[in-house]
Amino acid sequence: MVRKTFLSLSLAAAVAALMFFQISKAGANSVTANVSALKSYVATTSTNTAKASDAEVASTLLFDSLKLNQLGLSQQALTYAYKGYQHLLDKKNLANDHILTICDFSQPSRNKRMYVIDVKNFKVLMNTYVAHGRNSGVDYATKFSNKPESLESSLGFYVTENTYSGKHGLSLKINGLEKGWNDNAEERAVVVHGAKYIGNQRLGCGFMGRSFGCPAVPQTDVAKLINIIKDGSCLFIYHPDEDYLHGSTILNG
């Protein structure tokens, strides 16, 4: 009885928050009002009872409050990312649990398609370029693989680990959580690192440089990025690939 009552309250809070968002959207203080609605929703929603509908409502509020459409992020990407983020919170997989990083590979490489979001404080901390694997495509990533030496990006959810200094300088290990999709990340040496082949200096080339499968970022951004997302935060590499979206145990578990 307690569980059912709490779930009803959770869904009621979601509806109330969404209604408040719609009313406040046209006002001068809409961003502040939307964030307030989102905080109210999060405060009354337990991750232990979170369902797909909860993730959709929360991600919609987050998407509109932070005006992520103006930054080019796909709302579908955020919805899937938030759902997986909630799942990892439930499983207590996240030590750095207020950070959600999304690489939206539905966009071309010329776009700033990496988004670092502080989910608990409702802020976009970074928005920068991110490379896909050499064999995943040219400007757009269209092919993905978990196989060693494929030189392709791997879709899905990762948890960030510790830093180290390697051939690319400061780098960050990431742990692929999805068997068959990205769990060979360590064997493939797929890490977050900086690279000179991606950034504003490449905009006139038609596409950014590509990696061996790593989510590489501009050399000028790597230190700041790694400092924010290291030590147990959620990283999601997204593409509207139907095989992945239907096959992910995190999204469909």
| Model pLDDT for residues 161-188, shown as the tens digit of each residue | 999 999 999 999 999 999 999 999 999 9
> Mean of the per-residue pLDDT values for the chain?
86
For the chain, give every domain's residue range: 1-65, 87-252
The rounded distance, in Å, linking the Cα atoms of 79 and 6 is 23
pLDDT of 27 above 50: no
Share of the chain above pLDDT 90, in %: 77
> What is the structure's pLDDT at 54?
80
d(CA 151, CA 132): 9
Least confident range from 24-33, 93-102, 190-199: namely 24-33
Q: CA of 21: how far to CAs of 39, 62, 72, 228, in Å?
A: 12, 11, 21, 29
Confidence of residue 34 (pLDDT cuts 50, 70, 90): low
pLDDT computed for residue 31 by the predictor? 53
Q: Judge whether 251 and 85 are in contact, CB under 8 Å.
A: no
**pLDDT at residue number 253:** 80
Q: What is the mean pLDDT of residues 20-30?
A: 44
Can you give the pLDDT at residue 55? 83
> Which pLDDT value is given to residue 42?
54
Between 35 and 210, where is the model more confident? Answer: 210
The pair of three-digit structure tokens given for residue 48, joined into one six-digit string: 């232990």
Placement of tokens 């290990």 in the chain = 173
pLDDT surpassing 80 at residue 52: no
Class of domain 87-252: mainly beta
SS (H, E, C) the chain: CHHHHHHHHHHHHHHHHHHHHHHHCCCCCHHHHHHHHHHHHHHCCCHHHCCHHHHHHHHHHHHHHCCHHHHCCCHHHHHHHHHHHHHHHHCCCCCCCCEEEEEECCCCCCCCCEEEEECCCCEEEEEECCCCEHHHCCCCCCCECCCCCCCCECCEEEEEEEEEEECCEEEEEEEECCCCCCCCHHHHCCEEEEECCCCHHHHHHCCCCCECCCCCEECCCHHHHHHHHCCCCEEEEECCCHHHHHHCHHHHC
Poorest-pLDDT segment among 2-6, 63-67, 104-108, 211-215: 2-6
